[in-house]
Amino acid sequence: MRRLQPEEVAALREWLSRQGLRGADYREEFLGRRLLPRMEGAGFDSVRDYLASLRGRPAEQDALLSRFLVHTTEFFRNPEVWEALRAVLPRAGPGGLSVLSAPCSTGEEAFSASVLLERDRLPGRVVAADLSGTALKRLREGRYPARALEKVDRELAARYFKLDGGWAMPVPRVRARVLPVRWDLGRGLPGKGFHVALLRNLFIYLTAAAQARLVAQAGEALVAGGLLVLGRVERLPQRGEAWDVVDGDARIYRWKGGAR
Residue 199 CB, nearest distance to ligand SAM (Å)? 8
> Shortest distance, CB of residue 112 to ligand SAM, whole angstroms?
9
Binding segment toward ligand SAM, per CB under 6 A, in 64-72, 81-89, 143-151, 160-168: 64-72
* Contact status: 69 vs ligand SAM (CB under 6 A): yes
Please report, as a single letter, which amino acid is at residue 176. Answer: A
152 in Cβ contact with 75 (< 8 Å): yes
DSSP 91: P
Nearer to ligand SAM, 138 or 175 (CB): 138
| 24 lies in the binding site for ligand SAM (CB under 6 A) | no
Q: How far is 145 from 150, CA to CA, in rounded Å?
A: 10
How far apart, in Å, are the Cα atoms of 68 and each of 56, 72, 206, 237?
20, 12, 11, 22
DSSP secondary structure code for residue 148 in this structure: G
CA distance 9 to 1: 15
Q: Single out the residue of 183, 161, 165, 154 nearest to residue 79, CA to CA.
A: 154
- The nearer residue to ligand SAM, 83 or 256, going by C-beta atoms, is 83
Report 128-167 residues binding ligand SAM (CB under 6 A): 130-132, 135
Q: Which stretch binds ligand SAM (CB under 6 A): 49-57, 81-89, 181-189, 248-256?
A: 181-189
Kindly state the smallest distance separating residue 246's Cβ from ligand SAM, in Å. Answer: 19
Please, where are the H alpha helices in the chain?
6-18, 28-41, 47-53, 58-67, 79-88, 108-119, 133-141, 154-160, 172-175, 208-221
> By C-beta, is 212 or 256 nearer to ligand SAM?
212
Binding mask 194-233 for ligand SAM (x = CB under 6 A): ------xxx-------------------------------
Task: Using the CB atoms, write b or e for 71-103: b if 16+ within 10 Å.
Answer: eebbbbbbeebbebbeeebeebeeeebbbbbbb
How many CB atoms are closer than 10 A to CB 189?
21
Query: If binding is defined by CB under 6 A, does position 186 make contact with ligand SAM?
Result: yes
Mask: binding to ligand SAM, 84-123, rule CB under 6 A, as x and -?
-------------------x-x---x--------------
The residue (of 32 and 103) whose beta carbon lies closer to ligand SAM is 103
Which residues contact ligand SAM (rule: CB under 6 A)? 21, 69-73, 77, 103, 105, 109, 130-132, 135, 183-186, 200-202
